[in-house]
């Protein structure tokens, strides 16, 4: 039985900007916004200016940013879990140290991102509640199991690689607190990528058993890696407004193409294949052709019905349950 969601009056609720709002109720359409303020806001964005937390912004910009940054923060926390289960079983002391440090970094990224989202008026407690209740999403890829040590190599190389493609682009975006967090995160992700690449190449150039294990992990993860960037345009309901406001700096498909161009050659270079007979570079269009991932499965997974959704949230509930006394003790409210 799950405990009640934490109390939103909890003293750890952020009020550092004094603007805790009922975000959903306060969202108005663009037509209802003050047209002069809206025009000024959009021309600032167009000129490459950054928006700070206390600047005027349309309520929809605020809502969209909270949704996206919060989802990103949850992804870092939940993303630590598949790899985290391998810390105790890492092959050797150095691999164990590197993995433990990487997993800690991911949790630190969540901390940075929750802080960035808090600047927009949603408290950490509300975000935690929304993760626990299943209301908020997190990256679909972390709802699949890390079955072998090779999965850790694939996550470190390909998922971190995908994350860098997305985050490097978006760190040039319009909302300053998010961009500052992303810049810092990208430095650390680049190191994770080196760790993942080293692990990947080591297995790819190892014994037949190691190569087979890696190939199996790549076969299982490849379709999910492609979905990491989100659905194609026709299914992407948020992209248009987010690109107009330079929160997302490119479309989901362009980010996916960029990733494929950078990483497919690196995978082939070490003799690993990809489980897609249609994957090829089209010289004429300058784009990669590939088998469309199963978007029905993707939407099922992000609706809470993936292979590991329940298991992942159960860990968060456990942490909530067992960490409550620490929050109470720090707040002085121990009874
Ligand atoms: N997973 O309209 P769009 C990491 C949802 S960081 C789950 O295109 P949007 C580090 C979307 O929310 C992990 N849901 O959505 C690490 C929307 O539903 P909603 C993640 C997804 O927001 C590495 C619906 O589909 N990175 O991995 C996904 O414009 C290794 C329609 O889609 C970020 O969060 C998905 N993949 O574009 C950690 C970066 N894609 O909310 C540990 C910031 C879409 O309207 C180990 N986020 N949906 O009900 C973004 O750039 C964007 O949010 C996208 C999605 C590109 C992910």
**What are 23-59's pLDDT values in tens digits?**
666 788 899 999 999 999 999 999 999 999 999 999 9
Per-residue pLDDT, 325: 86
Structure confidence at residue 329 (pLDDT): 86
Ligand 1 centroid vs 28 CA: distance in angstroms? 24
SS3 call for 289: strand
pLDDT tens for residues 323-333? 888 878 887 76
Terminal Cα distance for the chain, rounded: 22
Sequence-ordered alpha helix ranges (H) in 47-175? 59-84, 93-118, 124-132, 149-154, 160-170
Neighbours of 276 (CB within 10 A): 16
Cross-strand pairs, 175:
51
The predicted-structure confidence for 55-97, as pLDDT tens digits, reads as follows 999 999 999 999 999 999 999 999 999 999 999 999 999 999 9
Q: What is the pTM of this model?
A: 0.93
pLDDT at 3: 44
108, 139, 173: residue to mutate for ligand 1 pocket, most atoms within 8 A of CB: 139
Q: Is the CB of 162 under 6 A from ligand 1?
A: no
Is the confidence at residue 13, as pLDDT, over 50?
Answer: no
What is the whole-number distance in angstroms between the Cα of residue 48 and the centre of ligand 1?
A: 24
Residue 24: what pLDDT?
67
CA 26–ligand 1 middle distance (angstroms): 24
Per-residue confidence band for 9, with pLDDT thresholds at 50, 70 and 90: very low
State residue 65's pLDDT score: 98
User: Could you tell me what percent of the chain has a pLDDT over 90?
Assistant: 87
Q: What is the pLDDT of residues 269-325, one digit of tens each?
A: 999 999 999 999 999 999 999 999 999 999 999 999 999 999 999 999 999 999 888
Of all protein residues, the one whose alpha carbon is nearest to atom 5 of ligand 1 is: 230
| Degrees, nearest 5: CA angle 254-76-293 | 40
In this prediction, residue 11 carries a pLDDT of: 34
**What is the Cα–Cα distance from 259 to 58, expressed in whole angstroms?**
32
Q: What pLDDT, on the 0 to 100 scale, is given for residue 328?
A: 80
The confidence score (pLDDT) of residue 186 equals 97
Report the pLDDT value the prediction gives residue 7, as an integer from 0 to 100: 44
Ligand 1 centre distance from Cα of residue 233 (Å):
14
Report CA(190)–ligand 1 centroid distance (Å). Answer: 20
Are 27 and 67 a contacting pair, CB within 8 Å?
Answer: no
Q: Is 79 in the pocket of ligand 1 (CB under 6 A)?
A: yes
**pLDDT tens string 122-180:** 999 999 999 999 999 999 999 999 999 999 999 999 999 999 999 999 999 999 999 99
DSSP string over 197-241: HHHHHHHHTS-HHHHHHHHHHHHHHHHHHHHTT---GGG-SSHHH
- 230 Cβ closer than 6 Å to some ligand 1 atom: yes
Mean pLDDT of 224-244: 97
């Amino acid at each position: 039985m799950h405990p009640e969601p934490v109390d939103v009056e909890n003293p750890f609720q952020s009020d550092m900007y004094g603007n805790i709002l009922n975000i959903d109720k306060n969202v108005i359409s663009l037509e209802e916004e003050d047209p002069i303020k809206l025009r000024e806001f959009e021309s600032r964005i167009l000129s490459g200016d950054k928006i700070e937390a206390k600047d005027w912004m349309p309520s929809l910009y605020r809502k969209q940013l909270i949704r996206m940054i919060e989802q990103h923060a949850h992804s870092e926390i939940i993303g630590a879990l598949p790899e985290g289960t391998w810390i105790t079983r890492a092959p050797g002391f150095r691999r164990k140290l590197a993995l433990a440090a990487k997993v800690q970094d991911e949790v630190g990224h969540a901390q940075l991102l929750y802080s960035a989202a808090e600047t927009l008026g949603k408290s950490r407690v509300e975000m935690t509640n929304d993760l626990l209740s299943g209301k908020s999403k997190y990256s679909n890829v972390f709802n699949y199991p890390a079955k072998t040590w090779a999965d850790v190599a694939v996550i470190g190389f390909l998922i971190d690689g995908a994350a860098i493609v997305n985050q490097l682009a978006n760190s040039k975006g319009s909302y300053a607190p998010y961009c500052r967090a992303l810049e810092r995160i990208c430095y650390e992700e680049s190191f994770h990528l080196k760790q993942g690449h080293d692990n990947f190449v080591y297995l790819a150039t190892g014994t037949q058993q190691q190569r087979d294990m890696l190939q199996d992990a790549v076969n299982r993860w490849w379709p999910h890696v492609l979905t990491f960037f989100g659905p194609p345009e026709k299914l992407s309901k948020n992209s248009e407004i987010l690109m107009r406001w330079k929160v997302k700096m490119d479309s989901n498909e362009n980010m996916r193409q960029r990733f494929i161009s950078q990483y497919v050659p690196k995978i082939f270079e070490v003799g690993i294949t990809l489980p897609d007979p249609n994957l090829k570079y089209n010289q004429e269009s300058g784009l990669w052709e590939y088998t469309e991932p199963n978007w029905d499965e993707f939407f099922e997974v992000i609706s809470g019905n993936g292979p590991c959704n329940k298991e992942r949230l159960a860990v968060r509930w456990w942490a909530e349950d067992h960490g409550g006394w620490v929050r109470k003790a720090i707040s002085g409210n121990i009874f």
